[in-house]
Amino acid sequence: MSTPPTSPSVVLLTVAHRVETALGAALAPLGLTVSRLGLLGHISGVPGASFSDLARMSGISVQSVHTAVKALVAAGLVRDATARAGAASRIELTPEGVRLLREAMAAVAAVDAELFGPDADPALRQVGEAVRAAFR
């Protein structure tokens, strides 16, 4: 019986699951999920982003972004910089949000090193190298 061809879709889904599991474990002690990290990253990367902007970037509904941002505000990680009612929201990180995002990115770097670094499985190292090359 011949070996079926390798499906890039199946391989990437498998790698993505492994990455998400490892990131979830690394972020949990910080009180973050992968989704919350993504939202913090978007807020940091696009100062003054609106709820609609964040929804578009995150691939979720505006209502879900409102819920997530409300939780981040309650945790002291973000604030709405808009001073007056009725004006479009401008969401930004608080100093605590900046600190936590830095810690989270250190956790991401550790996961990257574990999964894609010099001591990782050779196939995963190649995936990591291909991703880095594609986005240089």
User: Do the domain assignments include residue 1?
Assistant: no
- In a domain, residue 52? The reply is yes
2 within some domain: no
Which residues span the domain enclosing 26?
Answer: 16-82+89-134
Cβ-contact 78, 92 below 8 angstroms: yes
Q: Residue 4 domain-assigned? A: no
What is the domain-level CATH number for residue 58?
A: 1.10.10.10
**How many domains in the chain?**
1
CA-based nearest residue to 54, from 38, 30, 70, 33: 38
Q: Quick count: other Cβ atoms within 10 Å of Cβ 89? A: 17
What is the value of pTM for the model shown? 0.85
pLDDT of residue 85: 61
- Write out pLDDT tens, residues 77-97: 999 877 556 667 788 999 999
pLDDT tens digit string along 8-65?
899 899 999 999 999 999 999 999 999 999 999 999 999 888 889 999 999 999 999 9
